[in-house]
Structure 1
Amino acid sequence: MCSTGKEVATEILPFIRVYKDGSVERLAGSPIVPPSASDPETGVSSKDIIVSQDPPISARIYLPKHLLDQHQKHPILVYFHGGGFCFSSAFSFVETKFMNRLTCLANAVVVSIEYRLAPEHPLPICYHDCWTGLQWVVSHSNGDSNEEPWVYYTYADFDRVYIGGDSAGANIAHNILMKAGSEGLRNGVKIKGAFLTHPYFWGSKPIGSEMKDMEEREKLATYTTWHLVYPEVPGDIDNPMINPVVPGAPSLAGLGCSRLLISVAGKDLLRDRGILYYNAVKESGWQGELELVEVEDEVHAFHIDVYDSENAEKHIKRLAAFLV
């Protein structure tokens, strides 16, 4: 039981609590904020749009303000927010702060996808939503659509399409890259590059400095969250969607982009998984430009949660420089 008087089915503190009546209480995440015609700090313009009515998918689009008065094409980034697949939002305060700064520094068009959250919408729904969002963006590349002028070819250079994400969003980005590599995107558009920041990967067998005690290991949020958001997943915590290096997983040589940036944080529980993924890509035979960046003495998603710190500013500049 809890203070509401309802019986708890599952809770992963300090993130989320699920009750036996099916209701969900999200304990983490920052407040929702509206878009801005001109962000006071960066001058970036943003607005919210509907990507799809069925399924219900929306997005927040960011545009450097000077682009509204120019017909000059710039890179376009499709972004997937983090939050363990079960909390946070593309419309949150911290995500909006991060997106405004990244958009300004990168001088790019950015589309941040608002996908449906588990456990109400268990995985793989979020992967489908984000794939739909990316396909909607690239559908504007043929010059025949006036559906969304900010994503139209007037501003966006569809030869410079990027995707990115942090934590669970980086996991989504990886799975999107695998799908793009095998199926391709609309209008023959190619993903030029992707950045995966503090990717949420895990597995049953401990690596590096990870906890070795198997009983205690299964109590970690990295494990219990996956069970909550994808209860029917084949292979459990070793499904290739969460453990892309597990024996039998599809070859990482199939990643559908030509540039890839992996970022890890020195004090992040997921650090060793990110490095393992980087090494696996390097050894897979993937034909692309690969880079690993580690920010020592920092924690998971520091560049979003503590967006105004010196290290956050440096890291956001590094991500922006990748979008060329």
Structure 2
Amino acid sequence: MTRRKVIIDTDPGIDDAIAIMALLQAEDVEVLGLTSVAGNKGLDHTTTNAARILTFMGQRAQVYPGADRNLQAIEAEEALLRDDEAGFVHGVSGLGNADLPYDTSLIAQQQAVSFILEQVRRYPGQVDIIALGPLTNLALAVREDPTAMRHVRQIHTMGGGVYRGNRSPVAEFNYWFDPHAVDLVFQELGPYLPIYMIGLDVTHQGIINMNYLTFMQLEGGELGQVIYDMMAVYIHQYWKQDHYLGGVIHDLMAVVGYLYPKIYSDVYHAHVRCVTDSELAYGQTIVDLHQAFMNKANAYVPMDADISQYKYYVMELLFGSTQAKLYQQAKS
């Protein structure tokens, strides 16, 4: 079996953690390493959280620390210009109520940008990047060596939205956190390689209810209990905000769609820009689905998904086909 080579760029975060756990279970994927970035929490937290996930899953891949603030703050040599405002959603540690130890040897001395470029040069045209947080590390890698980054095989990024936001009425959190990085990555790499923007329009379709989570807890062993413990904080936030018992694991949709792209439908080849020059619309993705007003397409944007199939694949990845089939029987 030929295994796909993957770098996970991430800011764990509850939804990042569950998505990473699922991807680590995929037999046809070789995870080259995780690169951490500030976003859901500060860099120290996201780096150690990535190591916690790897330790819990028994993986020996390493975490390569990346950007501790957004591109604008790095360029200005200033502290983070926009505060970590998603932290409360993910709990104090960033992993909800889960208390996971970590192996310090899994945190590499090598930095994220150096690692990304090293792997892309070593395996030109073979490395996929799954970006589950702000795109700061990718933008810095493009700045350092745009030619090398054009040899990434494909990028799947969870972020943005065509018709909705979650940090503001129009901006999704990951892209709001560093819109300058988003715009740079899409403009510089979109003409050369496939970029899949997995936005809120499709991730919000994959809402996980309490029946699904309870099945994970009852039938998923230690992993199921850890996921349930992490999701407890999410559930509390969704109840306070929407009076809904459950939650959306946004990054999980990006991972499952990467592994099983046929779950997506209504996939548009579109031109995407990210707003950087407006306080009101800061971080908004402007998506020309029909290429009517802007330049050549630079992204693939799915707008719909087969949610029944998605939920089956989630169960299968995390707990195996037997448990996935059992869930199908239990819900019917």
Q: Smaller-chain TM-score range? A: 0.3 to 0.5
Which structure has more relative contact order (CA 8 Å, sep 6+)? It is: 2
The alignment's TM-score, normalised by the length of structure 2, stands at: 0.37
TM-score normalised over the length of structure 1: 0.38
- Greater per-residue strand proportion: 1
